[in-house]
Each structure stands twice: as structure tokens, then as C-alpha cells.
Structure 1
Amino acid sequence: MRDLKVRIASSAAEISQDTWNEIGEPGHPFLNGDFLRILEESGVAIPAAGWQPLHLVATQAQSVVGLLPLYLKTHSHGDFIYDWNWKSVWERFGHRYYPRLVSGLPYTPVAGSRLLISKRCTNGDQVRQALVDAARQVVTDNGFSSWHAALASPADIETLEAAGLLVSHDVQFHWNDADFGDFDGFLQSFSAEKRRKVRAERRRAVESGLRITVRHGGDIGADEWPALHAIYKSTFDRFGNYAAFSPECFAELATTLGDRMVVFTASDGVEPVALSLCFRSNDTLFGRYWGARRQVDSLHFELCFYQGIDYCLREGLTRFEPGAGGEHKIARGFTPQIVRSAHWIPDPGMRRIIAPHLERQQSGVAAYRDDATTHLPFRKSVASLA
């Protein structure tokens, strides 16, 4: 333990690719150095955009044994902490909430490991504790309000809660394969009425006359990304939100991640009309971005949900996480799942205020999950297994 040290890396690129390959998750599109490096180098996750990389690197005997992705954030956009009201609470008591530290994936609501430990490490618990202690020390040394581990894995939540972090709860909707075989097999698990509704939606998408294609990142030329990006950006513009990614960022992600990026596109024979941009690991498809140049009946459901389920069943993926929010996913066979984040709040007074709020939230989220489960489209014999 005496030679276990933690340092700060000012960029993902400062950490060698060999280290990321050894410590990250094999085949994962996000828990690797490529994704974070490209977002940082393309201007998506940089200080000017409110994301200052301060990644923690644990070393022992001159070898990297642990990583904790970490950003200094000056806003709450794109980190999925859902702490929009916390700023006013801090200010009411004479404190400043921003900046604060966040461990997570920029603009990516995907749960997973945040305390990344080398597979060769024989003292993993000590390394995890060293990373936690280092993150808390950064908060203390700089007078930051807090540190948040966004959408951490169950194992990480256990470690963080034991270390004194508060835990928040939220619900996402995920699809899981139950040996359906193909899409028709999946629909056989639905009640008759719900099955008819899905088939009607898919039929309307076909009757639109649009041609749907499925391609991986390496199959898409760099010259195609400006048009695809314009479709992605249109959704954000429509709702007055900020489209963080650039065409160049998408193009480099596509080239670098290759088969780990999956793009579902609907075209009218001349140009793309809509797209759903996803990523995949060895067993999970992650839905991320949707955009359309015009409204087409049921096309959103087709590109964002049904094509993704079809893809999973063809490719042998067992899980589909289509993104945050969206109660409309329930009727399409996505089950409610509780996801959690952890929060280090060093100020005792602010901690006493936030802790009861998170306790009430936990019971409310659990009740919501239970209620949402009763609205799943599955036949009763199947729903009892969900």
C-alpha cells in the first residue's frame, strides 16, 4: 500500500492505449480510451464546454492499477446527475455549487464501472479506496461543493456508499432477450392487443416508402456525416437544446470504433430523412441519438426501438438500453430498471439537507418502477417473469 499513488491526468490521451485496453472493458464502446479521447480532442468535453478532464490514475510499482474518469463541471448538462435544483439550495445557504466533480461518460446515460481496476491487480479494494480518497481530496483541496459518480455499477455503488457517499435513484427502460429467437418470437410474448399495435406501427413505417438501412461506423464515409449530423442536430434545435457533438467527432468515432457504432437510417432514395445512432458492446446495444428532417408516422419507434431489437436478435446481443427517460418505451417491451448514482457532499449542513431528499426519492422511484411494471405489454405468464 505504501507505493500506491494516485495522480491526475489532464486528458484521456495522457493515459496510454495499452493501459485503457487492459483496465477498460473489452469491446465496450464507452469504457475505453478512444471514446473519451475523441470527445476531449474534438471539443465536446473540454474546459471551454464546461468539462475539464481530471482523470485519476492509480499506480503501484510503476504500473497503472486503477482509473477513475473525472471531470470538473461548471454546469449540469450532459452528466445525468439530475441535480438542476441543487444549485439554488447551495446558494440559499451562502455556498457555491459549481464547479463540481463528476465521474461519468459525457452526454452518455449508460450505467457501468467508474472505478476501473486492472485485471492483474491483487489489491483491488485498496485501489478503489485510494481512488475514492483521491477524488474526495480534490474536492477538499479546491473547495468544490461535491463529487458525483454518475450511473455507477452496482459494485461501485456498494463501494461508494460504504465510503460515505449518498445514493440517488432513477429509472431507465431496458429490453432483455428471453430466448425470443426473432422479432416475431418477441411479439409472441405480448398480449394480443399490444401485439397488434406494434405490428401496425411497423406497417406504417414500411408504408412510408422510406428505405431503412443498418450500417456500422466503418461503413459510413466521412463525407456522409455533415448530412447525418444535420439530422441529429435538428432534434436539439427543435427543443432549444445544445447539440454537443460535431460532424467531425461523429466521423472519428465511426472510424475508430468501427463495428461498435451502429447507425439506423431511413432514406427517401435521394437523401437521409431520419437516423438513430447507437453503439454496442459484446452483449448490449446502446441507443443514443435520434433525428428526423420531417415527421413520419411511427418512424421514431421503428428506428429507435424495433430496428434495435431486430439487430440484437440477429447479432446475439442480449440487452438493449435505448437511453434515458421515455415512458413510451414501456408499451414496446422495455422494462423499468433502477439505476443509481453516488454523491460526496463534504459540507455537513448541505449533506443533512440532501440526505432526506434522496431517501424520499428512493421510495418514490421504487414505487414508480413497480407501477410502470404493471403497464408492460407482456402476457400475464410472461409479465410475471419480468
Structure 2
Amino acid sequence: MTEELSLARTLDDIAPEEWNALAKGHPLASHAFLHALEASGCASLETGWDPHYLLLKRNGQLAGAMPLFVKYHSRGEYVFDHAWARAFMQHNLPYYPKLLSAIPFSPVPGPRLLARSPADRTMLAQAAVSLAQQNALSSLHILFPDDADQAALREAGFMFRETVQFHWHNNNYGTIDDFLAGMTQQKRKKLKQDRKKVAAAGITFKWLRGNEITADDLAFFYRCYERTYHEHGNAPYLNADFFERIWRTMGDQLLLVLAHRDETPVACAFNIIGEERLYGRYWGTTEFVSGLHFETCYLQAIEYCIAHQIKVFEGGAQGEHKLSRGMLPVKTWSAHWVRDARFAQAIANFLDEETRAVDHYAEALVEHSPFR
């Protein structure tokens, strides 16, 4: 039996069916999603996301893979290490470039060490550390790994950082009213009032999936998405070409929630459908309507999950406001290796303190559950 570790600079060199066989059916870890990021130029050397795909081949067959990026900044990661970068700079040490395993611009937990066995996942983690060492990179970061990856990363000696997201869980609800009935009277009343405001503004909704999504629908969504970024003084991370690519290659896994008034679209939310989860990703609107954001992004998604028996809705990173909409705190993780032993120890000490603070925060959130 022969084993070989290598690097590919483009997913064009990797057969989609081989990659996807290792990706556990996770849509954002799929060949199509990652290839669209690369081919559209969103994740590229020019944007500070230089792709490197670590491959493990056994007897010529792909047995393991790991999306890696040489990063020249920390934007688009949703795990914030700017303070670490400043500390390196203050000691005249380079923090960038660093090595990163993540789904670019996507704070979505899932597989990062794509392999079938724990031993192969550990081998990939150790090989990635060796790559960082051999190339004198400051550090290696694995963002939002799933449970199986976490076990391998702990075995490989990584430090762990804890964060909190808000996910909605489907308790076998038959209707949206069943879900609302489980909430406290105050939270239920507020949600119903918000829904009435949206309806009183003449807003109705359509769920569009797969081939129901037209080129005009996609173009309207992108105008909304782009406007959201520009209103905050930023350029969007993702371009129209990226969305057109996944529309062509992942159509049935895409869900648009389209808000209309008198057949004129006014807002849109873009979601991705997994095997048991709905991933809320992007949104935008052409005008302000009270309650429209929460209805379009969250309550419509929850209603879709109930109607289609989807177990979990992940509403994205951060956002305590999601708690009152029935989304509960869930701990997520990132794993870190730092080459300089002095900084590694300092960061480990920091993470110990931060983890205690995050644990207290998560406990406080549970005490404010919107459910009875």
C-alpha cells in the first residue's frame, strides 16, 4: 500500500466525485461550492485567500483532503484574531501570511479534515502543521470544525477557541403555530406583532428552490446583497459570478425567500439546503419595512424547515437578537497552532480565560430562553 501527501493549487485538478465522497454531504464543503469561490476569484491570491488543497492519496485514490488557504489578512473568517496579529507586530514578528482551513466567508460548522477514518483525519492535521512549519508560517487555524475533526485536532495538539452561534431546532413541529405555542407569552406576542406589521405593509413571500429560481430572481437577490454591504461602507466579499456558478451547479440546494409587494420584489434571503440543515447565508432589501429583516431571514426559514421536516436552521454568526426569535445558543469551535512557543503559551493562557467567559455567557443566554 502506497500513501502520498501532496498539494493542489486548484480544484480543477481534483475530481468532484472523489472530493464529494469525503465531504459528508455538507453543501458548503462540496467541490461545487469551493470551486465557485476559487473560479469566481472571490477566494484567490488577489483577495488574500491563496488556495492550497492538501491531498492524501492511498494507492492512487483520494483518501483524504483539506481545504487550506495561505491568508494575508483576517477578513472574512468570523473568528477574530486581530489582537494576536497586533501582538506579533508589536514584537516585530510577522503574523501574516498564516495558514487557514475554512470555508471562505462562511461561519458554518462542518468537516475540514475530509477523510473516512479518525487516523486519516489526524494524519491530515499533522501534515498541515508540518506545512506551516516547513514554510515558516506563523500559525495554522482550523475554523468551525465538526465533532469528528475536533477529536483529530485535539490529538494533534491544537489549542481550541470557543464561540457561540444561534441555531433553531425542529422539535417535530407540525406548523409554525406549534413552534410559537412553545414560547413565552411575551415573546410569542412580540413575534406575532412583528409578522402583522410586515403583512400590513402588503408584503407576501415566495419560497423558490432549484429551477424555480430564475436569472432575474438571482440578479435581484444580488442587488439586495450588494446594497447591504454598501450601506455599511464595505464592498461585498462575493461577486455575482460566484452566485451564478452555484446557481448552475448546486441549484436544488439553493433556497431564495423572496418578499413581494404587489408582485414587485422588495427583499430577498439566500439559504443553502443540506441533508438535515438549512443554512441562512445572505440577505438584502430595497427599502425599510419594520420587521422585514427578521421575517425574511429567520421566520420564513423556520417555517420552511417545519414544512419540509428539516431538523436545524443555522442563522449565521453572532446575534443575540436571534434568541428572541427562538434560536438557541450553540457552542462552536476553532482550533489553532502557533509556531512560536512563547506566543503559543500566551495564547493558550488567553484562551483558558476566554473560554470561561464564553461559558458564562452561554449559561446566561440559556437563562433567557424564549421558551416556556
Give the secondary structure class of the aligned counterpart of 1:143: coil
Cα deviation per residue 1:332-352 (whole Å; 9 max; x = unaligned)? Answer: 111001100000112101101
1:342 aligned partner, one-letter code = A
Which deviates more, 77-86 or 142-151?
77-86
Give the secondary structure class of the aligned counterpart of 1:248: helix
Written as runs of structure 1 = structure 2, the 5 A alignment for 1:52-63 is 52-63=50-61
Q: 1 or 2, which has the higher strand percentage?
A: 2
Which residue number in structure 1 is paired with residue 19 of structure 2? 20
Count the aligned residue pairs: 372
Gaps of 5+ in 1: 119-123, 380-386
Query: Does the 8 A contact of 2:221 with 2:283 survive in 1?
Result: no
CA distance in 1, matches of 2:350, 2:233: 30
Cα deviation per residue 1:86-133 (whole Å; 9 max; x = unaligned)? Answer: 111111222101111111101111001111114xxxxx2332232112
2:202 aligned partner, one-letter code = G
Q: TM-score, normalised by structure 1?
A: 0.93
CA distance in 1, matches of 2:234, 2:82: 15
1:20 aligned partner, one-letter code = W
CA distance in 2, matches of 1:256, 1:240: 31
CA distance in 2, matches of 1:224, 1:306: 21
Q: TM-score, normalised by structure 2?
A: 0.97
- Of the three residues 68, 71, 75, the one matched with 1:70 is 68
> Once the 2 structures are TM-superposed, how far is the Cα of residue 154 of structure 1 from its aligned partner?
1.8
CA distance in 2, matches of 1:49, 1:240: 18
Which deviates more, 356-365 or 130-139?
130-139
Which residue number in structure 1 is paired with residue 145 of structure 2? 152
Written as runs of structure 1 = structure 2, the 5 A alignment for 1:115-264 is 115-118=113-116, 124-264=117-257
> Once the 2 structures are TM-superposed, how far is the Cα of residue 227 of structure 1 from its aligned partner?
2.8
Which residue number in structure 2 is paired with residue 324 of structure 1? 317
- Of the three residues 68, 81, 88, the one matched with 1:83 is 81
Query: Does the 8 A contact of 2:221 with 2:269 survive in 1?
Result: no
Written as runs of structure 1 = structure 2, the 5 A alignment for 1:104-123 is 104-118=102-116
2:224 aligned partner, one-letter code = I
CA distance in 2, matches of 1:177, 1:265: 23
User: Is 2:348 aligned against 1:350?
Assistant: no
1:294 aligned partner, one-letter code = E
Which residue number in structure 2 is paired with residue 100 of structure 1? 98
CA distance in 2, matches of 1:35, 1:358: 32
2:225 aligned partner, one-letter code = Y
> Once the 2 structures are TM-superposed, how far is the Cα of residue 77 of structure 1 from its aligned partner?
1.1
CA distance in 2, matches of 1:268, 1:247: 25
> Once the 2 structures are TM-superposed, how far is the Cα of residue 270 of structure 1 from its aligned partner?
5.4
Query: Does the 8 A contact of 1:81 with 1:148 survive in 2?
Result: no
Give the secondary structure class of the aligned counterpart of 1:226: helix
2:31 aligned partner, one-letter code = G
Gaps of 5+ in 2: none
RMSD over aligned Cα atoms: 1.3
User: Is 2:281 aligned against 1:288?
Assistant: yes
Query: Does the 8 A contact of 1:73 with 1:98 survive in 2?
Result: yes
Which residue number in structure 1 is paired with residue 304 of structure 2? 311
> Once the 2 structures are TM-superposed, how far is the Cα of residue 25 of structure 1 from its aligned partner?
1.8
1:11 aligned partner, one-letter code = T
Query: Does the 8 A contact of 2:202 with 2:262 survive in 1?
Result: no
Query: Does the 8 A contact of 2:137 with 2:339 survive in 1?
Result: no
Give the secondary structure class of the aligned counterpart of 1:344: strand
Q: Against the structure 1 CA distance between its residues 217 and 73, is the aligned structure 2 distance closer, same or farther, given a 3 Å change threshold?
A: farther
1:233 aligned partner, one-letter code = E
Query: Does the 8 A contact of 1:136 with 1:147 survive in 2?
Result: yes
Give the secondary structure class of the aligned counterpart of 2:279: strand
Aligned identity (percent) is: 33
> Once the 2 structures are TM-superposed, how far is the Cα of residue 136 of structure 1 from its aligned partner?
1.0
CA distance in 1, matches of 2:119, 2:295: 47
> Once the 2 structures are TM-superposed, how far is the Cα of residue 223 of structure 1 from its aligned partner?
3.9
Give the secondary structure class of the aligned counterpart of 1:108: coil
Query: Does the 8 A contact of 2:172 with 2:309 survive in 1?
Result: no
Give the secondary structure class of the aligned counterpart of 2:82: coil
Give the secondary structure class of the aligned counterpart of 1:152: coil
CA distance in 1, matches of 2:18, 2:102: 18
Give the secondary structure class of the aligned counterpart of 2:154: helix
CA distance in 1, matches of 2:228, 2:269: 11
Which residue number in structure 2 is paired with residue 384 of structure 1? none
Which residue number in structure 2 is paired with residue 121 of structure 1? none
Query: Does the 8 A contact of 2:224 with 2:286 survive in 1?
Result: yes
Cα deviation per residue 1:260-309 (whole Å; 9 max; x = unaligned)? Answer: 11111112335421111110101100001111111101001101110000
Which residue number in structure 2 is paired with residue 383 of structure 1? none
